[in-house]
Structure 1
Amino acid sequence: MRLSDTVTRRRSRAGLGLALTAAVLSLGGCGLAGAQGRVQDGYLPQGATEGAERVRSLWIGSWIAALAVGVLVWGLTAWCVVAYKRKKDDPPLPPQLKYNIPLEILYTVVPIMMIGVLFYYTDRDERELTDTKQTPDVTIQVIGKQWSWDFNYLEGNAHESGTQAQLTGKPGVEETLPSLYVPVGKRIEFQLVANDVIHSFWVPAFLQKLDLIPGRVNTLQVVPTREGTFAGKCAELCGAYHSEMLFNLKVVSQAEYDKHINDLKAQGNEGLLPASVLREPIIEQDKDKLTTGSN
């Protein structure tokens, strides 16, 4: 094969590669333009608390660092494939090297530095998000149970008891779910306890979640920044009807929050529910049913 033919073939392959690259970038640009809002949030739900912005920034920063490393590795890999492609007159094996001290130091030190930086920012943000030293404006005890939620409003001395959601597939199911009310702009402390098994308190718009563990009180503080109704659910597999352990979180004005507390008391929900383990009576009742054969 003549040298000119080899050069022509290489140029053709390079041109094809550039064309494919341009096409991919063009399609990517169209996708980014069509989903600009989602890209800006890192494809996370729009945050509804002060801490959500910290989570979003850490998430996007981690992805930028990961993509930068990926582009570097892919670029070096592609360069090696093109630059060191075997030719007909090359020996069967390339020159063998036992070691390369500078290179080995590079790919040992650089990953350690990267992991150290990621650990620093993750630890910094996690400490801020889990800090509960500040005095809350509102304290709510959240009780997880199979398969619903109870809410004790400690300052208001009122409660709401939820029942398992009935997912019929028809509109209006959200209206039957227990609703947790919190005032906007106030520091809310959730005291999380479980009556039976491990559950997890999760409001996706918070970009945070925390487990409820029997015999232990876990505490979470947030400051809601915008009003609205947000979906809440259990994020820990807790039994047969885990998927139906749902609730609404309503972020409202202070006046509407006070009205809700008064409405609960007017409905007879004054006072607080006990957060004791209720599993044993249920188990004994099921045993009696099995023994007698009753339904």
Structure 2
Amino acid sequence: MLPDHVTEQGNVVQSLWNGAWVAALATGAVVIVLILWASFFHRKRRAKADLPPQVRYNLPIEMLYTLIPLVMVSVFFFFTARDSERLTRVDGDAPVKVKVEAYQWSWRFTTTYNGKTLPTVAGTPVHDYHQGPQLVLPVNQKVEFTLTTDDVIHSFWVPEFLFKRDVIPGIPESNPGRKFQIQTLNKPGVYAGRCAELCGVDHSRMLFNVKLVSQQEFDQYIATQQAGSAQ
């Protein structure tokens, strides 16, 4: 069961997930029906001890069980490739940009909004994601993330994003694999985040949270942060 998503990209993941399950269940049902049909209607009967006519091959059937899987795999590949492109596309025009720095064993978030950089939010290992560093984002906005680390492999994961991306050291900043973007939905709230890659002794305490707020509340947050940095 997927959690309720808070991003537009979550709709893509949800659709692909549901479609994959429908296709898998339909394929499974067809296979089970064919197995039962073959078991009941082609079993050897005592009244007919002779073997049925034997053939070396059946061209129509062989073409059928070759072409059908080929068509199925092609359809799966098309939808997966299409949705992967949508999920990994970065337009570069997001008004909110977040630099995510993963380290043993917490996170640093540096937010830039309309070209203005806010003070970095950092944390220490915690036992409750509410106590970890908080990333504040506005609803109904495009957000671009840049992931970086200097120690070991981490993984940035917010379950409600329905998206996870590894944070790998040594990858140049120009590499597109370091970036991804989301379009937040109008679902204010506080959402848990964590590292999803075993990264050391305090991996389980590498927690944070994302707080989605209204645009008015986000503007107030921006003003407060800028006023604090000016002092």
The alpha-carbon deviation at position 114 of structure 1 amounts to 0.7
239, 250, 253: which one pairs with 2:200?
Answer: 239
Letter in 2 for 1:256: E
Structure 2 residue aligned with 1:50: 8
The alpha-carbon deviation at position 264 of structure 1 amounts to 4.0
Structure 1 segments (4+ residues) deviating >6 Å: none
Query: Is contact 1:52–1:206 with CA below 8 Å preserved after alignment?
Result: yes
Matches within 5 A, 1:200-219: 200-216=155-171, 217=173, 218-219=178-179
**Cα distance change on mapping 1:92 and 1:249 into 2, 3 Å:** farther
Query: Is contact 1:159–1:264 with CA below 8 Å preserved after alignment?
Result: no
220, 224, 227: which one pairs with 1:259?
Answer: 220
The alpha-carbon deviation at position 102 of structure 1 amounts to 1.2
How far apart are the structure 2 equivalents of 1:79 and 1:142? 56
Letter in 1 for 2:156: F
Letter in 2 for 1:224: T
Matches within 5 A, 1:129-208: 129-154=87-112, 155-165=116-126, 167=127, 173-208=128-163
Select the structure with the greater relative contact order (CA < 8 A; seq sep ≥ 6). 2
The alpha-carbon deviation at position 153 of structure 1 amounts to 1.4
1:5-40 CA distance string (max 9 Å, x none): xxxxxxxxxxxxxxxxxxxxxxxxxxxxxxxxxxxx
Which structure has the larger Rg?
1
Identify unmatched segments of 5+ residues in structure 1: 1-42, 168-172, 271-295
**Cα distance change on mapping 1:60 and 1:159 into 2, 3 Å:** same
Task: Give the structure with the higher percent helix.
Answer: 1
Letter in 2 for 1:203: V
Q: Give TM-score, length-normalised by structure 1.
A: 0.70
The alpha-carbon deviation at position 90 of structure 1 amounts to 3.4
Task: Give the structure with the higher percent strand.
Answer: 2
Q: How many equivalent pairs are there? A: 221
Letter in 1 for 2:137: V
Q: Give TM-score, length-normalised by structure 2.
A: 0.89
- Percent of counterpart pairs with the same letter? 43
Query: Is contact 1:229–1:250 with CA below 8 Å preserved after alignment?
Result: yes
Matches within 5 A, 1:1-295: 43-91=1-49, 95-154=53-112, 155-165=116-126, 167=127, 173-216=128-171, 217=173, 218-225=178-185, 226-265=187-226
SS in 1 for 2:18: helix
SS in 2 for 1:222: strand
The alpha-carbon deviation at position 230 of structure 1 amounts to 0.7
How far apart are the structure 2 equivalents of 1:93 and 1:146? 70
Identify unmatched segments of 5+ residues in structure 2: none
Query: Is contact 2:157–2:164 with CA below 8 Å preserved after alignment?
Result: yes
Query: Is contact 2:130–2:208 with CA below 8 Å preserved after alignment?
Result: no
